[in-house]
Amino acid sequence: MNSSLFNSSVPASACSAASIPYPNLFGAEFLSLEATLISNLSSNIHIGFYTNHGAVDVKNVNYCNVTVTYTHPGQDDKINVQVWLPQDTWNGRMQHIGGSGWQAGLHYAGLQGMTAAVGEGYATLGTDAGLGSEATPVNWGLLSPGNPNLYLLQDLVSTSLNDAAIIGKAVVNSYYGQPPRYSYYSGCSQGGRQGMMLAQKYPDAYDGIAASAPAINWNEFLYSDFFPTLVMNELKEFPAPCELDAITAAAIAACDGIDGVTDGVITNSSLCAFDPRSVVGAPLNCTDSTSITKISSAAAIVAEAAWTGGQKVDNTSLWFGMGKDTPLTASVATGGSSVAATTCASNGTCSSAGFEIASDWIKLFSLRNASADLSTMTREEYLQLWSDSLQQYGNVETNNPDLSRFRDRGGKLVSYHGLADILIPHEGTTRYYDKVTAMDAQVHDYYRLFLAPGLGHCLGGTGAYPAGTFDAMRNWVENGTAPETLLAESLGSPTLTRPLCAYPKMQYYNGTGNATAGEGFYCA
């Protein structure tokens, strides 16, 4: 979105630690503040790194990088916040870039997003929540065997988010001599969860929030994600990736046309009655192993486990599963493999590749043992750990449906979620929206959710990605124009264009026009 300049130039001398006082942050002790002038920054930020935005070509940007380090006395944490301040192109706005996976921010993708944001004229910021720039919970999750690091977990979950907003606004005010006209947040996945936490717990932090594919319902979706691995361990059979890929392809072939257009995308997985057992024994040309020649019954059971989500012994559902067009063996950008990933030796022997983000949570925070062997876990143990985790770590859930304070202060919240998300089932997000609606029938006045058929986790898949999500949110905040649809475009070939619908409306095709170009689609 093009932005007129708000304060056209700040002298280079303003980028000095001596001229930027420590912010006033209750409960914190500041350890250092550094200011460094960065000149002529140029970089091409590819689509996907600037969450909720498109690609950005950054050219010759001058900005002041203010790095603040602080601690919460008695908690033995050390949190870094970076605030980047355009020297001569500030648009009067601040944008906080969120994290992903186990990272709160200031990781590679987050810094790429900050580069794009400062290139567009935003004062931009990120926090590492005290976890470092390449955070993995193996490094910080346990203080010692049996003792989770609850302070750092709390920093990641919520505390650092409001801290960063306060620090960012104070630094902006000190540098420019005026506060930001508007303050925004943007994130997806963990970053989406962070945005939802800000709306729920810290409603005054930001005027507008773009929080996509949010990792809310944290315990439920991680335990549910582990369910296919549990099932494979129970069966003591580990289907080859080619088997599961063939089942996914068969499901798409069976259900693709239900929405009236054949495009490799299942618009509504709940209408897809495909039974994976129907293709057991079908021949395979498997590159994983020459000894695997047909789809096994174990592969059908594992695919169904991924689609149903976590279940009790009597097959009662505990949480949601993946859409039937979701790749079950693809890699996940957060550093783990998708929910049913396996690896195979040349002799055809396969084993679980593990699902790292879920197994780390179970090992470190449920079992409190980094070396725990999850392969021997029984269904009963799994169910008990799930229940215990919900009880102990309710603060991580981020699913409080009361957004009244965010609503009353005039905040606007926009989110999208891919229906082929390989990490976070979209039905957890729609369930949350339904709960907000149950509390406030006028939820559409301040919070809108858009479902993206065929889209993977934040990006990818065969579906269309809404690169204008952030701009739609900003336009809503600044001009009062609520987004009825989000225009989205796939990254593959051929390119698919789609108008995404504001939930609970769904996308339909009327059979006329060029579907590839997005013609003939409507919301109802």
189 is an active site residue: yes
Query: CA torsion sign, 45 to 51 to 55 to 58?
Result: negative
> Helix H segments across 80-159?
108-119, 137-140, 150-154
Give the CA-trace dihedral at 459, 464, 470, 472, to 10 degrees: -170
Start-to-end CA span in the chain (Å) = 29
CB atoms within 10 A of CB 454: 28
> Helix H segments across 309-425?
356-360, 379-392, 404-408
C-beta separation of 141 from 364 below 8 A: yes
State the SS3 of 482-510: CCCEEEEECCCCCCCEEEEEECCCCEEEC
Query: CA torsion sign, 226 to 100 to 483 to 468?
Result: negative
| Residue of 155, 207, 421, 471 marked catalytic | 421
Which element (helix H / strand E) includes 169?
Answer: helix 160-176
C-beta separation of 227 from 309 below 8 A: yes
96 is an active site residue: no
346 is an active site residue: no
C-beta separation of 80 from 127 below 8 A: yes
| Residue of 96, 107, 417, 457 marked catalytic | 457
Let me know how long the chain is: 524
Distance CA 340, CA 247 (A): 12
Q: HSE of 328 in the Cβ direction (CA atoms, 13 Å)?
A: 37
Pairing outcome for strands 142-144 and 147-148:
antiparallel
3-state SS class at 305: helix
| Residue of 160, 189, 337, 389 marked catalytic | 189
Contacts of 1 (CB under 8 A, 6+ apart): 120, 471, 474, 475
Burial of 7 (0-12, 13-18, 19+ CB in 10 A): middle
C-beta separation of 444 from 502 below 8 A: yes
3-state SS class at 106: coil
Distance CA 181, CA 359 (A): 43
Token digits of residue 306: 């991924």
Residues carrying an active site annotation:
189, 421, 457
